[in-house]
Structure 1
Amino acid sequence: MDGLKEVSAGGVVFRRKNGRTEILLIEDRYSRWTLPKGKREKGETNEETALREIREETGVSGRILRPLTSVHYRYFHPDHGDVEKEVHYYLVEATSEALHPALSEIGGARWLPPEEAWRLMQGEGYDNNLPVMEEAYRHLGLLAGES
């Protein structure tokens, strides 16, 4: 089956703690650092998907401040063949802080200073997430790699 399209949504989640901004990253099943995201379910908006997936993967609730860049890529699925993937990202302010990662889905989740989150994304993340992080950092008044 060629031409399958999959839509997902997620976000750059942040919180302000003790006057500093922290960024939430997850470690995925492949031991790479990334942003929380997941597949849109029938009847959901992209915004609803982003907030649900963030909550399900990390236990953190949030509110969307603004849309960010959408990412498009293609991957091979053993059962479905080539899949066109579209991921809508949002800037999300955490409204809860306690992490309760869904360890059945991800390897873990951490609140990080912006410079450490950027370093991990550059070295152990996915290149297509870097423009999303850059845009989020601009909106938060951060420079990529600085707090």
Structure 2
Amino acid sequence: MWSFSLYITLLVIYYFYKRSKNTFFSQDRETLAEKRHEVIMLLTYKGLSVEEIEPFTDAYDFFCKFTSKFDGATIVKDLHDIRGLDLKAMLHDYECLIGANRSFKLWFKSAYNYYLNHFKLGNGNQLFRFIGLLILGIFFVPYCYFFTPKYFYKK
């Protein structure tokens, strides 16, 4: 019975992982430039410092270059900061693509940052998302270590 439950859980996770799509970064360059400014203004308004905003802009610029790599929030897609874009999920996806999906330590750090960013951006306590990411990491990190590329991005 235990193995059957594990198998079903893995199938559900895989299903959501493969179906997760976001087309925000498929917009034209001018729109993306306007939205980048909107991201910076929103984060400034939310009280983030320049140092705290920089990882978000790095992630934004990365996905402007690699437009098909952003899939947004995988399961719960209800916390967009600007229309069509969840900034916390964007930063988490970026951290995963540049290496957090290959190490349990980096995965935990990225998941914890995701959790903290919910507080910083006014979404309140999202402990269930943090716990979900930690559980997902048990299966996701080994899968990514062997089957996905790591991206190196220079500004």
TM-score bracket relative to the smaller structure? under 0.3
Give the TM-score, by structure 2 length: 0.26
Q: With structure 1 as the length reference, what TM-score do the two structures score?
A: 0.27
Name which structure has the greater RCO, CA cutoff 8 Å, separation 6+: 1
Which one has the bigger helix percentage?
A: 2
Question: Which structure: greater strand fraction?
Answer: 1
